[in-house]
Amino acid sequence: MYKIYIETAVLFVVWTVFVLLLPKRARRIAGCTGSVLSVFLILLFTVFGRQQSNVYGVNIIPFSSFTVTDSQTEFYRSMYLNILLFMPLGMTLPFALPDKLRLKPLIAIGSGLALSVAVEFCQLIFNIGKFEIDDMIMNTVGICTGVLSYLIVWLIRIRKQK
């Protein structure tokens, strides 16, 4: 499990450096491509790649999964994978948005949250998983972690301009 933490950190740093080196137009293209690919993979893994299951229901109690992790450590992995799944969208979407938008990070977070809610509703409606508020929380943490990459690049670029 520690290997995946290290790989995630390395990919996070590589993306940040890569985007710093790209010219403005190429950053926008990379952001658009990465965002579309991220949404595609999110939908593939959470909606289209699943089959109907016996696991059905609604869990709207925030952080209730954390109480189960003591007896079932698989939930830690599941929570971490939810964060990992949405992190690339948070890393790429702000670069895809027009520069005129001042609140790119908030728009990216809001878009990621909306996608997460849509995924959970699809899982509920099509009986392919449980509607869980904890999944939406972890997905939003993933988006926020990805947006952090955008903010780092933005701060470095501002300092270079001064």
Residue type, 139: N
Tell me the residue range of the domain where 106 lies: 2-161
* Span 106-140, pLDDT tens digits: 999 999 999 999 999 999 888 888 888 999 999 99
| Residue 158 in tokens | 């501002």
Residue type, 5: Y
pLDDT at 161 over 70: yes
Helix or strand holding residue 98 (H, E): none
Is-contact 149 14, C-beta < 8 A?
Answer: no
In the chain, the number of structural domains is 1
Interhelix angle for 74-96 vs 2-21, to 10°?
Answer: 0
User: Rounded to two decimals, what is the model's pTM?
Assistant: 0.85
